[in-house]
Amino acid sequence: MKESLVYGIAGTVNRFVGILLVPLYTRLFSPADYGLLDLLTTSSALLSLLAGLQIESGLAREYYEAKAKGRERELVGTALITSCVSDLFWSIVAFIVFHFIIQGYAGLSNLHLAAILLSLIPSHFMSICLVLLRFQRRAGVFLFFSSGDILTSTLLTIYLVVYQHWGILGVLWGLCISKMIWASFMLLMLRQHLRLAWCRELAQRVLLYSVPLIPAVLTKWGQNYANRFIMAATFTLTDLGIYSLAVKIASGLALVDIAFRMAWDPYAIELMGEDGFEKRYARTFDFYLLGMFALSASVVLLGTPIVRIMTTQAYQDAGRLVGLIAVGLFWTSMDKFFALGNSVVRKTYWNLAGYFPGVLINLLALWMFGNRWGLFAAGMAYILGGVVSSNALLWVAQKNHYVPYRNRVVAFSLLLSVSYAVWTYLAEPIALQLISPGLWLLINGAIGAILILLLSWSIFSIKVIREWSLSTLSYLIGRYQRWSKRNY
């Protein structure tokens, strides 16, 4: 549990730092520049996913078997070499695409491309080395390297952007240089745990496991990021920058979800082997649904004030959009519960059948209505994609293994969450022309509180409260009786 906490902290630090940098970026970059930066980092992430081949997943799958045979050093070396070859191949592909299609778009140059391509190999080397550290159960060292990379890239970015005035190039090169430094440091420190030799047999075993994972990973990634490419084609870079900022601020909701996963996942895996675990999952989901609904409603309510505090006047349109994105994140976070049936029967490849329809609906809706409705269409398309993905995933997983989630409660929470986000987006500009911002917050906050109470009532009706109280009382009485027998 302690190690899981350390790995969870390492995973949240990067998101947290990204949010902390928002006030700096929005004061140094125009919305158009911020949109271009987001488009570049999204393109870099896509390239990294394709080039990475999910090799770290294959390494994790084969590590213990290779260790039992005394071949773990050879396995790590094979993974590094295979990753390097793939990175070089995709770098050539990216170079060709850039020079024949992209070069010159919004002032992009070879320096932008070089920063992205040069970070590929060190980034994947770090991913492989971090997997090695996890399997060696060296959580402290893992945290040192991952946090060191984040701190170094942040400081380099601030130096290059603020003091050297490199702009977007400063962000890209700050990330690239940091990856180079820490990848070299990690390889030096872990050199005794790897052997730079390529084994065809081990490479095949790794790739046979890792490559089939790519469609599902890309689809999951596409739910959150693929819309940037459609927006780049149909929206202005200023609109893209405002949307990207709204996503960044709303992603604070994901930090809470990650914290829950850190505490829940170890217990959930242990619980899965017990009889009647489905009911306990369903009960936990009720509490999770209510908690995340309340948090997402709070983000909907406070989106505009947060944007006003953290950014400049040029970004104020992102305030209302934060709420739509938060509700979309709320629904995409349901996958940990809705996909349970697939995990129980070990058919997680069915998750793709849930994620793909949502991504398709998200992109189609944005393409069809983006020109007409602008940023509102982008927010609604994201919500629609998240809702479709989560419900398709639930439908498929329930076919594989039934869990007694209450569909009426899920549907009611869907109605309440989407209605509140849309109401806030449409009513806020009108309300602020008639009443003060403080009074609007008070009125809209009261509406949000009423919706939370309504969902609470639907979840914890009198019958449910009575059953839960009786079961809890019975459990406490049993524990007391066992304690009495043991001590008296």
Question: CA torsion angle for 211, 213, 219, 224 (degrees, to 10)?
Answer: -100
Cα 276 versus chain centre, distance: 31
Largest CA distance in the chain: 83
CB 402 within 8 A of CB 278: yes
pLDDT in tens, 326-343: 999 999 888 878 888 887
User: pLDDT exceeding 90 applies to what percent of the chain?
Assistant: 43
pLDDT of residue 327: 95
* pLDDT of residue 452 exceeding 80: yes
CA distance 229 to 237: 11
CA distance 338 to 341: 7
pLDDT of residue 132: 85
pLDDT in tens, 347-368: 777 788 888 898 999 999 999 9
CB 371 within 8 A of CB 333: no
Distances, alpha carbon 398 to alpha carbons 211, 261, 306, 354, in Å: 27, 21, 39, 12
CA distance 370 to 112: 28
pLDDT of residue 295: 93
Closest residue by Cα to residue 213 from 340, 52, 90: 52
- CA dihedral sign, ordered 274, 392, 408, 402: negative
Q: Where are the alpha helices (DSSP H) in 272-374?
A: 277-310, 318-332, 335-338, 340-344, 351-373
Q: DSSP character for 105?
A: G
pLDDT in tens, 34-59: 999 999 999 999 999 999 988 888 88
CA distance 393 to 398: 8
- Mean pLDDT score, 75-100: 92
CA distance 158 to 165: 10
The larger pLDDT score, comparing residue 433 to residue 352, is at: 433
CA distance 409 to 407: 5
pLDDT of residue 262: 62
pLDDT of residue 209: 84
pLDDT in tens, 200-244: 888 888 888 888 888 888 888 888 888 898 998 889 999 999 999
Closest residue by Cα to residue 337 from 292, 275, 385, 295: 292
CB 332 within 8 A of CB 44: no
How many CA atoms within 13 Å lie on the side-chain side of 108?
21
CA distance 145 to 56: 17
CA distance 40 to 363: 19
* pLDDT of residue 177 exceeding 60: yes
Average pLDDT, the chain: 86
State the pTM of this model. Answer: 0.85
CA distance 42 to 226: 8
pLDDT in tens, 115-145: 999 999 999 999 898 888 888 777 778 888 8
CB 245 within 8 A of CB 22: yes
Mapping DSSP onto H, E and C, the string for 442-484 reads: HHHHHHHHHHHHHHHHHHCCHHHHHHHHHHHHHHHHHHHHHHH
Length of the chain: 488
pLDDT of residue 3: 56
pLDDT of residue 2: 56
